[in-house]
Structure 1
Amino acid sequence: MSSFAIIFVSLALLSQCKADLIGDFCKKSNNPSLCSKTLSSDPRSKAANARALAEIALENAVSATQASIRVAKSVANPGNKAIIDTCVETFGDAVETLQECKPLIPKQDRPSIDTLRTKGSAALTDVDTCSDEFGAKEPSQLKQASDKAYTFVQLLLIIANTL
């Protein structure tokens, strides 16, 4: 086999491994389709290892959680003000916690990974609080936004649990 053929086959296998890594993580999420679509469409994911995918998941988690705050404020009315205030507060807490995760992802020591997992779990709980507060009466736009945030925070936690 020529050197060119060996390189080609190696690159093809490497590409397949990255796709499998995305699939392995996303199939564990609450929304595998959104997860796969988002990770696969990010150009950085093509050569990404688990840590790089965690960084992409984190960016999406922060963005989606910030979007959830905007949606919560947009659906506020006198009848749901107390719950919306809780949603805005807990989404804000989640954003702060997620931002604390960024410097932990590249670290390879056990205490940093444990802290990343703890913070990911706390952010997941914060994001889920809004839906818990509303129950079945959650406005559909807010449900969609909080579900998207949940997917990416959960993905961060899924990946963190493999590091």
Structure 2
Amino acid sequence: MLLLFLLVLFTQNYFSHGDLIADTCEKTEYPRICISTLRSNPDSKTADVKELARIILKAALGKVNTILNQANDLLKKTKDRLVRQSLNVCISVYDEALDEIPDAIANVGTNNSEANIQASATIVDADTCEESFSNTPFKADNNAVKQLAVVALDIIASLG
């Protein structure tokens, strides 16, 4: 009997928390990327809404690092002056994002307006990188950074 009770208790806790992810993500502009990002992170299973926002921001930070690594690699290989200028723009703005996103993560739940400003700056960074190219090699990753930042903003807004 005790085993049955514990099974029911754990099942209810698992599914009610699973609902937190779905409920939180359905209120965002990009629910699909929100749900897939959170479901792929094992920390989200026990996270509250503040931690869900932090997990989304950490995913954006991962994408920023991917872009930076690719941009630095391309910079070493290309001789084209315009491409080099565009790569340097991306490297510059995403270097800033390496500071902005961790600050946003730290401010979630304690200073949401500051977290909001920092997450918003990340969207501007992605747009700036994207617009520096006529045909960017980072289109998918820039879009992912922007969408993750928008999702983070939506979640932070729900915190009040």
The residue aligned with 2:88 is 85
The residue aligned with 2:141 is 145
Residue 85 of structure 1 aligns with an amino acid whose one-letter code is N
Q: Can you give the 5+ residue segments of structure 1 that lack an aligned partner in the other structure?
A: none
Decide which of 98, 103, 108 is 2:101's aligned counterpart: 98
Report deviation, 1:18.
Answer: 2.5
Residues 3/106 of structure 1: CA separation in 2 closer, same or farther (3 Å cut): farther
- 1:102-143 Cα offsets, whole Å, 9 max, x none, are 321242xxxx111111111112211222112325x112xx12
Please give the residue correspondences for 1:40-79 in structure 2 after superposition, counting only pairs within 5 Å.
40-76=39-75, 77=78, 78=80, 79=82
SS of the residue corresponding to residue 134 of structure 1 reads coil
Distance in 1 (alpha carbons) for counterparts of 2:9 and 2:131: 48
Q: How many residues align?
A: 154
- The answer to whether the 8 Å contact 2:119/2:149 transfers is yes
- Give me the TM-score of the superposition, normalised by structure 1: 0.78
Distance in 2 (alpha carbons) for counterparts of 1:131 and 1:31: 23
- 1:48-99 Cα offsets, whole Å, 9 max, x none, are 1101112211221212111111122233431311111111111111121112
Residues 134/21 of structure 1: CA separation in 2 closer, same or farther (3 Å cut): farther
- The answer to whether the 8 Å contact 1:55/1:102 transfers is yes
- The answer to whether the 8 Å contact 1:25/1:155 transfers is no
Residue 81 of structure 1 aligns with an amino acid whose one-letter code is R
Please give the residue correspondences for 1:119-134 in structure 2 after superposition, counting only pairs within 5 Å.
119-134=118-133
- The answer to whether the 8 Å contact 2:24/2:49 transfers is no
- The answer to whether the 8 Å contact 1:71/1:145 transfers is no
Distance in 2 (alpha carbons) for counterparts of 1:62 and 1:31: 19
Aligned-residue sequence identity (percent) comes to 22
SS of the residue corresponding to residue 153 of structure 2 reads helix
Q: Can you give the 5+ residue segments of structure 2 that lack an aligned partner in the other structure?
A: none
